[in-house]
Structure 1
Amino acid sequence: MASFRHSVVFRMAVGYGLLLLLSVALISTVFYVGTAGLISRNIDAQLTATSRRLIDIRHQAGQPALEHEIHTLLTDDRDVDTEIYLLVDPQGRKIIGNLTAWPGLSGHSNELLKQPVKRLGRDSVSRLLIYRFPDGSTLVVGRDMRDQRELERMSVTALSLGGLLALVLAALGAWLFRRQLKRQLNAIHLTTTEISAGNLDKRIDVGRSRDEFAMVAHDVNVMLDEIERLMETARDVSNAIAHDLRTPLSRIRGNLEEALSLPSNAERLPVSAQYAIDEIDAVTTVLDKLLQIAEAESGVRRQHFASMPLGEVITDIVELYQPAAENQGQTMALAIETTAHASIDRDLIAGVMANLLDNALKYAGHGTQVTVRVTAEPESLCLVVEDNGPGIPPKLIGRATERFFRVDASRHLRGNGLGLSIVAAVVALHRGRMALEDAQPGLRVSIRLPRD
């Protein structure tokens, strides 16, 4: 029960119910005060109009005419249960009227007051308007408030019943509100519980709903898809690291064992040592590339950025790789179509270009052409490296930037699958965008960097 009271669902349901009750109470109060006030104002207006008419009769036709008018009013069978008329002489004796006792008529002339009197022998709390004539006589026009009190009582009763009904409806609405929230929150809770237990393919059933909970469920499902993808990538990376480190270490160990087992150890050891150093350097290269990716993703290199023409950096790297391309029977074409500047880290961009050209020369094959272009767009500079080799199968292009991913799943070819991962990390550090496309044939890598 304590946990139920402290739950968000309970607090929201109670808040909804209290808000509904407060709204009903406020509306009822306004209705009651407005109704009672309107009745009181109407009564006062009627009393004032009647008193003025009788006063005018006295002034125009004299005392007998006033008495005759009061007698007519008392015998016309209208408002017989509520009307009050009284004419008193200067000595306080009743001349005509339907009051049998009127204690304390001490109000000022033309003053409206609420006072207990006896009307036709019965106690009555009445609304009275008193007028005193210059000769000392007093005219009292009033109304018994019994019907108004009865109407007010009926209004209070009706409003109380309405309030009780509103309370029941508020409780029902709060229960339905809590039930709806609880149902949708339970769906999320059950899914996250199963995921915590290791069932990573579980997803929240969104259904056809388009409310806020459906939006949250959709976002959670997208997040879970991404988590599952990252975990799958982490497993692949772990397997790749284990393979790429175990293989050279196994070769090093085997080579050293072979050197120790030969009779002429002194002659074999330098060769074996050099082989071990080369293999260790290869392992170190893998670790350096991983550190380079981590450094780029952390953003610590942004202090080395400077404004410079992108075309000049690309030209230097292409000229450096031109002899290697010719040695492999490949053609390398360069087109620099802009001299616009970009805020870049020269070394990192040079590394990006080197990785792309390494991949092109390694995988495109003999007799292929590698094209490099730098063009200007309204808000960015575009670097394109394209070859007409075998490329990457379209279904695998989306995974090409994953760490240690290689199209050669058997991993027989030299390489470690980190080149495009480094490129993607450096492009992200420069707040740019990279796209891999099937050039049909070959692979097209497009990089867009913000213009300075």
Structure 2
Amino acid sequence: MRAIKAYRKSSSFVVSFVFTSLLMFGVGFNSYTLSVANDDLLIRETEAAIQADIGGFRSLYNTAGRKAVIQAVEDRLQSYSNDFLYFLKDSDANYISGNLASWPEDNVDFVKNGLLEIRVELREEYRSEQSSTTRAVAMVMEFSNKDTLLVARNVQDIEFAVALAQTSSWVMIAILCIVAIGSLGVAYYVVTRINKISDTADAIISTGDLSDRLHVDSSWDDLSKLTLVLNQLLDKIEQSVHAISLVSDNIAHDLRTPLTRLQSHIEVINDDEEKQQLRKECDNLLGIFNSLLRISDIENTSKRAGFALISLTDVANDAVDLYLPIAESKQIEVHSIIEDQTPILENFYGDKNLLFQAFANVLDNAIKFTPEHGKIEIHLTSHNKQIVFSVNDTGSGVNAQSIDKLTRRFFREEKSRTTVGNGLGLSLVSAIIALHDGDLIFEKSHIPSTTKEVGGGLCCKMIFSVA
């Protein structure tokens, strides 16, 4: 079972999607900045500033005359930096005022709407330490007395700022895209690793193989550290389970011999009734120990020496034939529907004796807990490379809370305590089915119960998948 079935439903994806959306918003904003921070915008802003300046000088000349214009130019040169450039000359081209060294004659290019792109040199008193030559955009205005004023704006600093903004925007876009892709990649990595951990854990639970471990392919991330801790936990669990199994196996081995000797001593007792009771108790104890050792042998060694191509149809029919007289003695109605002449059933790879024992144990349970005049239905079917052996009964069944406990060793419900048995039959069935890579499922029977017991009948299904 995968922890996260759909990547888009994971919390990692949701978080990465939110961050990616915010980052994409940042990319869009920077893209907009790039689109507006261009040469056209520079020209428009410069043109508007120059025209506003020229408009002010024209109004000043019309109202106060030439001296006012000269004074205004001088005042601006004192208060402004070298962003605005001026050159005022008379009709004879003589210098009157301004911070330009000369009237531009060369390196003049027409831009648009009367704008000129010029390269000029500043007067000595206005030169900076970096350079005396600057590039500017200018417009020319002529007054009524033939004086001519050139108003220009230095665009080098503005162009540098625009270029810096564009470069910063491109860098920011690249960083945001990398972060967005990285966040999605991290989310995908986290989901993939979690699913790997979940799949391995599910396989351990399904197979009961506590020797399996979670794969660790790195050591730098937190999930790898979590995997290492989980592997250590599995080591502890495996050691504990093995110790418990070893204790029970040792007990079974150690007590079986004295019980056998006890059986031989019972034979010399003269009281037949007492002898029969003691022999029955010894047989029951020996049966428990033999069952425990058998389960341990199947679970721990997973022996497949007896595996061969067998007919499941024959195995099921033999089990039904064995228990049919017992069912008839309790007047239990048995309906058996077993497929035959099916290749998947006639060529099943497994241990015939173990499977017969599993089928027999389930049938024995069904007959044991089904009252007189009850019903039992037995089905052996195959479909899409899957084999199902099911037994439905109208017995007392079990409570819903106890279904998951049925395969535990020695587990018996309180209402079943008076019934003959030791609580190991279904544990042995579970071990046999696990050895054949199958699944053992318990659910409520579909046959209406003929008793007033709580829980209704029980359905036991053995499911085998054939490759």
What is the TM-score normalised by the length of structure 1? 0.47
What is the TM-score normalised by the length of structure 2? 0.46
